[in-house]
């Protein structure tokens, strides 16, 4: 791929890749999950997916099934998908729309879309039982530029955002297979110099933003095991791009499908090689200032810097 010309970015001389155990140790993976994923602000997708009252989506975050639902009054909530009676997982679907209530199928405990317990058959006979004490457990929820973020923490921290841009090399107009733009500019307010730039940001712990003059795509990244990561991608376009059949959004999607598969292939080989007893942290070049910066932030969050 020769669509881009790199811009200079800050580089700390002597930066090296991480020691082997950061790639292979189940204990460090568990530590990561607790220190970075469970307490961070995890992107859970787009708010537009739960635009109507009762609409919900379910996301797995740090091993938890989280139910995101818009209640009857229009407020968004994030709940742990766990019934307060026997602990049963309540909602089995990945997305959908509730009526007025959410009901567990085991013993029919029933909750409002705002999480309050409103029905609990036979529990009226239990001395001292009070429905008000058994709402669905809440997770913290925040919205930013149409993205939903979920966390066990209480405040939306201003964590570092890692990233930068690359100049799109003429005569290319965008990162597409043909090099041509695949549709409208994403915004008419886009400053002139940004119309030939591609911006890439990591918003820790799980969102990668890839923004181009004519499209945005993003990735949700979930650690699965020491040697396995789930990556989900979605695409955003200007409404005018989608309305006009003369535009060819596959031109952009195919470009990244090819690029990503090449990248995933080589990082799989890295994972295999780093497992060797003889692997030693290697030197980063100045072109690798971004992974080096990512390593520093990662170690800081892990309490090991």
Contact residues: a copy of itself, CB under 8 A: 13-14, 17, 20, 23, 38, 63-65, 80-90, 92, 105-107, 121-123, 125-129, 134, 137, 152, 266, 269-270, 272-280, 282-287
Q: How far is the CB of 257 from a copy of itself (least distance, A)?
A: 19
The DSSP element (H or E) to which 231 belongs, if any, is strand 228-236
C-alpha 47, offset from chain centre: 13
Spatial distance between the Cα atoms of 168 and 8, rounded to a whole number of angstroms: 14
Q: How far is the CB of 78 from a copy of itself (least distance, A)?
A: 12
Please identify, using beta-carbon distances, which residue of 31 and 64 lies nearer to a copy of itself. 64
Q: How far is the CB of 88 from a copy of itself (least distance, A)?
A: 4
CA torsion sign for 37, 38, 39, 41 is: positive
Q: How far is the CB of 111 from a copy of itself (least distance, A)?
A: 13
CA nearest neighbour of 114 among 97, 93, 100: 100
Please identify, using beta-carbon distances, which residue of 234 and 263 lies nearer to a copy of itself. 263
Q: How far is the CB of 282 from a copy of itself (least distance, A)?
A: 4
Spatial distance between the Cα atoms of 72 and 90, rounded to a whole number of angstroms: 19
Please identify, using beta-carbon distances, which residue of 49 and 286 lies nearer to a copy of itself. 286
Please identify, using beta-carbon distances, which residue of 62 and 211 lies nearer to a copy of itself. 62
The DSSP element (H or E) to which 207 belongs, if any, is strand 207-211
111-116: which pairs have CB atoms within 8 A and are 24 or more residues apart? 111/135, 111/136, 112/71, 112/72, 113/53, 113/54, 113/69, 113/70, 113/71, 113/72, 113/77, 114/71, 114/72, 114/73, 114/75, 114/77, 115/77, 115/79
C-alpha 199, offset from chain centre: 17
3-state DSSP of 12-79 = CCCCECCCCHHHHCHHHHHHHHHHHHCCCCEEEEEHHHHCCCCEEEEEEECCEEEEEEECCCCCEEEE
Please identify, using beta-carbon distances, which residue of 8 and 52 lies nearer to a copy of itself. 8
Please identify, using beta-carbon distances, which residue of 22 and 237 lies nearer to a copy of itself. 22
Q: How far is the CB of 153 from a copy of itself (least distance, A)?
A: 13
Please identify, using beta-carbon distances, which residue of 25 and 72 lies nearer to a copy of itself. 25
Asked if residue 171 has a cis previous peptide bond (ω within 30° of 0), the answer is yes
Please identify, using beta-carbon distances, which residue of 41 and 237 lies nearer to a copy of itself. 41
C-alpha 183, offset from chain centre: 25
Q: What is the chain's Cα-based Rg?
A: 23
Q: How far is the CB of 184 from a copy of itself (least distance, A)?
A: 36
Q: How far is the CB of 250 from a copy of itself (least distance, A)?
A: 27
């Amino acid at each position: 791929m020769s669509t881009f010309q790199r811009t200079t970015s800050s580089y700390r001389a002597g930066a090296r890749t991480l020691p082997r155990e950061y790639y292979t140790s189940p204990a460090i993976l568990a530590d990561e999950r607790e220190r970075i994923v469970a307490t961070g602000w995890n992107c859970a997708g787009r708010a537009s997916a739960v635009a109507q009252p009762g609409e919900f989506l379910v996301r797995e975050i740090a091993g938890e099934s989280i139910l995101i639902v818009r209640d009857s009054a229009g407020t968004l909530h994030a709940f742990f998908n766990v019934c307060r009676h026997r602990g049963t997982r309540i909602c089995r679907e990945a997305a959908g729309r509730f009526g007025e209530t959410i009901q567990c199928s085991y013993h029919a405990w029933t909750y409002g879309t705002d999480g309050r317990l409103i029905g609990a058959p036979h529990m009226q006979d239990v001395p001292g039982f009070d429905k008000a004490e058994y709402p669905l457990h809440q997770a913290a929820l925040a919205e930013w530029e149409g993205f939903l973020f979920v966390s066990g923490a209480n405040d939306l921290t201003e964590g570092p955002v890692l990233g930068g841009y690359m100049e799109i090399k003429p005569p290319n107009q965008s990162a597409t297979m043909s090099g041509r733009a695949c549709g409208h500019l994403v915004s008419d307010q886009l400053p002139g110099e940004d119309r030939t730039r591609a911006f890439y940001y990591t918003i820790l712990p799980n969102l990668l933003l890839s923004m181009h003059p004519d499209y945005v795509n993003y990735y949700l990244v979930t650690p699965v095991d020491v040697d396995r990561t789930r990556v989900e991608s979605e695409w955003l376009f200007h409404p005018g791009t989608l309305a006009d059949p003369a535009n060819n959004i596959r031109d952009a999607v195919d470009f990244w499908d090819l690029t990503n598969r090449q990248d995933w292939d080589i990082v799989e080989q890295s994972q295999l090689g780093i497992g060797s007893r003889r692997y030693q942290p290697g030197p980063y070049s100045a072109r690798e200032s971004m992974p080096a910066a990512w390593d520093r932030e990662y170690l800081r969050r892990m309490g090991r810097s």
